[in-house]
């Protein structure tokens, strides 16, 4: 299954207390599991920088990844970015199939 990186920045109105963040996460994940049962969550991190959270998940297709993004955005009143990711070993295999010599 394709892998996706989800970056989330929660609005200040939704992140008014630490408890609110935990409640929002629990509610959002419950909804994602119900609406997107084929999604496999791989990892979640709180991060420093312009985004608050980085999540890694696998989904069967881009439409499902878009659905996850939309659900997270609505629960957190958040700015969300989703990036497709290719595992490094698969990327190297792909390089060997391209014309020219891989370094």
pLDDT digits (tens, 9 = 90+) for 24-53: 888 889 999 999 999 999 999 999 999 999
User: Residue 31 has what pLDDT?
Assistant: 93
Q: How much is the mean pLDDT over the chain?
A: 90
pTM: 0.86
User: Residue 21 has what pLDDT?
Assistant: 83
- Residue spans of the domains in the chain: they are 3-96
Query: What would the mean pLDDT of 66-93 be, rounded to a whole number?
Result: 91
Q: Decide which of 3.30.950.10, 3.40.50.970, 3.10.400.10, 3.30.70.1060 is the CATH code for 3-96.
A: 3.30.70.1060
Contact 38, 64 (CB under 8 A): yes
C-alpha–C-alpha distance, residues 81 and 103, integer Å: 32
User: Residue 85 — pLDDT band, cuts 50, 70, 90?
Assistant: very high
Alpha helix stretches (DSSP H) within 1-103: 18-35, 62-76, 88-96
User: Residue 74 — pLDDT band, cuts 50, 70, 90?
Assistant: confident
């Amino acid at each position: 299954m394709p892998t996706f990186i989800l970056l989330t920045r929660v609005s200040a109105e939704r992140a008014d207390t630490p408890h609110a963040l935990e409640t929002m996460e629990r509610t959002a994940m419950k909804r994602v599991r119900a609406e997107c049962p084929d999604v496999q969550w791989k990892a979640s991190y709180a991060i420093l920088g312009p985004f608050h959270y980085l999540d890694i998940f696998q989904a069967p297709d881009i439409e499902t990844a878009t659905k996850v993004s939309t659900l997270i955005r609505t629960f957190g009143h958040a700015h969300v970015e989703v990036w497709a990711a290719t595992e490094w070993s698969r990327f190297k295999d792909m390089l060997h199939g391209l014309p020219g010599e891989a370094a």
